[in-house]
Each structure stands twice: as structure tokens, then as C-alpha cells.
Structure 1
Amino acid sequence: MPVEVTPGQTSHGGSHGISMWGAPGSGKTTFLAALSIALSRRNDDWKIVGSDPASTDYLIDKTSELSGGRVFPEASKVVERYHWMLIGPTARKTRWWRRKPKLGAQPRIRINMIDAPGGLYAPGGRAAEGLADLRQRELLDSLTQGRGIVFLFDPIREFKVGDAFDHLHAPLTRLAERMLAADEMQDGKLPHHIAVCITKFDDRRVLDTAMGQHLINVEPDDPYGFPKVSDEDAQTLFRELCRISRSGHAELVLNTLGKYFHPDRIQFFVTSSIGFFMDRHRNVFDWDDSENLLPQEPGQGLRVRGQVRPINVVEPMLWLGQRLAATNPAGVIPR
């Protein structure tokens, strides 16, 4: 997947970052922890490297918890900043007059991730008083300076609680206010790219909904036979899942995205941070035994049943990185 530039530069000289938001329990922290695991499972040279000790510690600790310990990372209680670099394989350019290929540019995607507690996205855009206000302003600063957004839509929470619209509309409204004041709205839209990630594809209820809409396919070269929903069909699944919202307001999410973002800057992904269960003896996906969550005693939380096989966790990051890179007029890879 060729990427030859990093994200465009802000007016302050720093790289545009990627911010993440979603309702409480939508899986923001787990999504971040699954990113390193997902990259390790890819058959290419893409890797993630921390740009500071805290980010590196996060990679080590959370990856170990999720993969080795098979426990879900504790949800964020404060705004946490991570600075990573996605580094890809070095391009090789072959010349007919050279015996050895010439090394080309190495793709690098800078990710300045802001992971914030879901409570910061409460109705009205306000969380608890005190420090929460400061953290919310910090998050809005990140959204204002950045140009990439990962929005996690949890269909299970939407079925039980139905508050996805509340957690999307409030920060978008405040972000639009800031961008308008800075004269950075483009044709009445935000200049950002947004990856809408439908989470918990491993949950049987989500999988069955996709099957009912005939959106499931299996890649011919997949030795395990895992089901998937193409990015082209992801929006259709999103629209169908919105219909089961407890509040009935989920359909407003899609309309709101269309009002605030350019259509070609919105991309839907069907994701799972833990993936499906697969018996290691059979080594193939079993439609009748796919749940990868292990029930626990009350108060003990959830555990992962089998191996962690993230689905579409890397792809939103690479898509955002490529789109942000395309906005860099200089086209230079900083080292």
C-alpha cells in the first residue's frame, strides 16, 4: 500500500493528527491496544513505533494485556496523548541498467492519537465539572488542529442505550464553531477526514445482522474462512444497525455526518478489536462457534476466549494517513 508522504502540516508547523472519539464502552482503549497486534499479524513490513516513552510503554503494556493476558484494557479516565509512527516497507525501484534495485521512499504515517474518556462526549458536550472542562477543551484543541478522526460506533451499546447521536453531535457542533471562527470551513463542511468504525463485528448479533442483509463474504485466499463485510457495504450495515437503536435517534448520526463532512472524506469500516474465535485444533472458522468473549463471574469483567485476531483495525489508520498525506503540498517525508 504505497504512501510516500506524511500528513500535511498545520499552521503551527506540526503534523495534523488523528483523534478518536465514541460513547463510553465503545472500545476506544481496546482499539488502540489491538493496533499493535493487528500489525504483527500482517504479512508485510508495516509496524508501529512509539515516538516517546509513554507511547512505547502503552504499546508494550496494553498489547501484553490483550494478547497474552486476554483481558480488556481499562478504559481511559483522563485524556491520554500518544505519538506513534506507522512505518511501512521501503519501496524498491528497479532500473534496467542496474543489477540491484534502488531503494525508494519509506512510507511513514504520523499518528498523534488523543484517547479520551467517553464521558467527555456527554449530551450538550459537557462532562463532569472541574477538570472535565479542561480536558474537553484540550480534546477540542486536538480536533481543531488535526484533520483525521476515528469515530467508534458501538451497535450493542446503541441497542441497549441509544446515545451515539448525543456523543457525536455535541463535539461536532463545538468543533464547527471553532473552525468557522478560524475561517477553515470548506464549502460549509469541516476540512477533516473521518473513519467511522462499526465495532464488535465479533458479536453474534452484529454478524447475524450483516448476514441477514446479505453483506457477508469470504475472501477466496483466506485459509481460515473468516467472514467479512467489504468497505463498500459497511455503510449499508451501519444504516441497518441504526434501525435497532434504543432511542431511535441513531439514524441522525448518518445525516449529521453528511452535513458536517464532505462525502469523499467519510469512510465506513466494520471492525473488531478481538476478532472471531477459532479452535486451534480445527484451524478454521466455525459459524456455529464464533463468539470470542468468555463469560465471567459478575464483577470480574470480560475476558477474551481465544487468540486475538483484530479485524479492520489497521485499515482505518492507513486510510486516514493516506488522505492526510495527500493534503501535504510539499510531499516531503520528514525523518
Structure 2
Amino acid sequence: MNTNNPFSQLRTSLKQWLDRQTSPTDIRIGLWGTVGSGKTTYLAMLYDALEDSEELRVEAGDDRADEFINEHISTIDGGNFPPPTEIAKGKQLDIFTYILRPEGGTRSIELNFIDAPGKFYEDFRGNTDQKVQIVEGQENQETLGDIVDYLRSCDGIIFLLDPIRSKEDGESYKTLVLRLFREFQRRSRQQGTDTKLQQYMVFCVTKCAKKEIWTQGKKSADLAKEVMGGKLFRRLRTNYCLPGRYEFFSVASIGLCQDKDGHWKEAVIYPDIPDSSSTSKPQAPQPYQQGYDPDAPFGRPNPPDDDWADLNKTSRNAEPPQIPVPTINTEVEHEPINVIEPIQWLIQSIQKKPPSRL
């Protein structure tokens, strides 16, 4: 097997999982996001929010999913963000399932998500690894599963778009997402389907409770265009998606809270991090404008992601000081924003007109 691909073992187990899916479920929803996009935090808060829902009933699909839920919700309730996902060398890929059932309905919906480092979600290499095996004098190519195959197996997909990474990486982030869609469409065309993708998709811009991202009155579609880039945004309509099969949301997994004066602000506590170029103390973040309207056109404004460990990268000093990481304010009630809404839109759309399973 190709040892140049650090995720070969994970791709092997993903292929085995995909091959076992012989009986299609009523509805299957998948999730995609890059490193730091907020996948773990979103999935934990989604389950937590669904338990309060009067429209959808939720349960863990297996013991591992139940363990995932309890571990990460407990971490968040304790005021901390889940640590970055890591996979030990040689470990099999875990694919967890949430089973959703609309109240009063009989059809089940599966939310299948991959418990893997964010880099695995960015790893799509033409769907082929080289396996050194001689068959009648020829090398045999072994086709393994990757993130594109996982997405193709779904009826609906939640894309978590990271505005912070998009801003920091610029065109490289936008190019990555565009390449994903090119490969997604290329493989779908090989199956003899319509030139446009069949899946229903929601594009969720995360971390929108951060003041530098939140802009009152800005629509989710406009924010998504800034994050994914105008080229991909335009091609969703012209080349990739069928009409009426995609929507945009602004998502905040932790969300906002109100202080004692009624000001809306992010429910995250940012520690003072000294600036080596200045001796002045950084000013605390200002609260959101009083009278914040959760029904504004922008949607209801996302907290930082589960990859805050990056803030603890060591400096070039021999003994760098420990840099504190942001925490969640547990002294006030925080309101997750648009956590369930993307799922609801997908379910309603798929039930109304089911896509063709690839």
C-alpha cells in the first residue's frame, strides 16, 4: 500500500465501511470541514440541542458514538473546548452515527460522521493508492475510500466553512474547497449521473459569534461567498448543484450570551496574551451592540473551534511560557445559533424530493 499517504490505514477502513453499506438507509447526512472548522464542537452541541428539540428525537447509533457524545459535552459543560482529534498510527477509522427520527414519523435519518483529524477531510488524491502486487506480470492498483467517496454516499451534506482560516490562508483555502468540488463532480460523472451533483448541501460559516466576523445585517450567503470565494460560490449555481438543493447558514456552536446589562457578546473568555512588542495590557473584547436582533437577515450569529491547541505551539525560546487558551463562559446561559437549522432544512428538502443515491 502507498506509504507516502499518511492516511492509508484510515482510507482502508473507510473503504471497508462503504462496502458494507449495501442497504440504503432512509436518509444519510454527512459532514465535511477542514482543520479547525469546528467539527467536534458542532457535533457535540448538535446532539445537545437535539435533545431539547420537540421536532426531532435523537439517539447514539452505537456505544462509540455514545462515548463521543458524553466525553465532549462534558468537556464543553466544564468550560473547555474539545481537544483536536488525533489518530494513533495503525488505528482503524471510527465512523459514528446519530439516529434522528421526526416526532410522530417512522422514517429514520442517519447522521454519519468521521472521527478523524481535520487533515483527513482535506486528503483527496484521485481515489487510488498503489499496492505493490504482481498480477500476471502487472502491478495492481488498489482503490481505497477517501473523503469524496464518503460524501458521494450521502443524501445530504453539511459543509463547515472556516472564516478565520479563509482569511489567514487566502486563496489556498478557497482553492482547496474548489478542488474538492471538482473531484466530487468528476467521480459522480463517472457513474453516469447528471452533470450536476444530486446531494442536498448546506454551507455553514462557523465562528460567526466572533466580533471580527459578525456584522449585523449581513446575509449568510454573502458571508459564505467571502469565505469560499466568488468562483466557487458562482459555480454552485452554474455547474455543481441542482436548483433548490443548497442553502447557506451562519452557525455558532457555543453562541452568544447576555451580560448583566443586557449586552450580547460571545460566550467565550479570551485570556490576556502578552504582546512581546508592547508592555500595554490588551483591551478586553467589547460586547455586541445592545438590542441585537437574532432574526436579522444575517441569521443568528461561532465560537472558536476545537483546534485551540494551536495556540500552545512552542516558540523558539528554550523554555517558552504556557499560553492560556480560550474557555467557555459557564456562569451565563449561552445560546447556540443555527445548530439544528441546517439539519432541519436538509431533512425537509430530502423528504420532499429524495436525491438519487450514488
Q: Residue 253 of structure 1: which of 218, 221, 232 is its match?
A: 232
Distance 1:159 1:328, change over 3 A: closer
For the residues of structure 2 that align with 1:263 and 1:116, how far apart are their CA atoms?
32
- Give 1:304's aligned residue: 328
Residue 197 in 1 paired to residue 211 in 2? no
Residue 179 in 1 paired to residue 193 in 2? no
Structure 1 residues 38-74: Cα deviation after superposition (integer angstroms, max 9, x where no partner): 22444x25332011111111111111111x2121112
- Give 1:37's aligned residue: 48
Deviation at residue 254 of structure 1 after TM alignment: 0.8
Q: Residue 249 of structure 2: which of 269, 282, 290 is its match?
A: 269
| The structure with more strand, counted as a fraction of residues | 2
- Give 2:159's aligned residue: 151
- Give 1:5's aligned residue: none
Deviation at residue 116 of structure 1 after TM alignment: 4.2
Q: What are the within-5 Å matches in structure 2 for residues 159-174 of structure 1? A: 159-162=167-170, 163-174=172-183
Q: Residue 142 of structure 1: which of 139, 150, 163 is its match?
A: 150
Amino acid at match of 1:250: G
SS in 2 for 1:204: coil
For the residues of structure 2 that align with 1:52 and 1:75, how far apart are their CA atoms?
22
- Give 1:223's aligned residue: none
For the residues of structure 2 that align with 1:17 and 1:77, how far apart are their CA atoms?
25
The answer to whether the 8 Å contact 1:89/1:107 transfers is no
- Give 2:111's aligned residue: 111
For the residues of structure 2 that align with 1:108 and 1:125, how far apart are their CA atoms?
33
The answer to whether the 8 Å contact 2:123/2:146 transfers is no
SS in 1 for 2:150: helix
- Give 1:322's aligned residue: 348
SS in 1 for 2:244: helix
- Give 1:87's aligned residue: 101
Distance 1:263 1:278, change over 3 A: same
Q: Percent identity?
A: 26
Q: Which runs of 5+ in 1 are unaligned?
A: 1-9, 91-104, 216-232, 243-248, 330-335
Distance 1:140 1:106, change over 3 A: same
Deviation at residue 144 of structure 1 after TM alignment: 1.9
Larger Rg: 2
SS in 2 for 1:49: strand
The answer to whether the 8 Å contact 2:33/2:159 transfers is yes
- Give 1:93's aligned residue: none
Query: Alignment length, in residue pairs?
Result: 265
TM-score (norm 2): 0.65
Structure 1 residues 242-264: Cα deviation after superposition (integer angstroms, max 9, x where no partner): 4xxxxxx7222312433211131
The answer to whether the 8 Å contact 1:20/1:151 transfers is yes
Deviation at residue 316 of structure 1 after TM alignment: 0.9
For the residues of structure 2 that align with 1:151 and 1:118, how far apart are their CA atoms?
13
TM-score (norm 1): 0.69
For the residues of structure 1 that align with 2:347 and 2:31, how far apart are their CA atoms?
14
Q: CA RMSD in A?
A: 3.1
SS in 2 for 1:206: coil
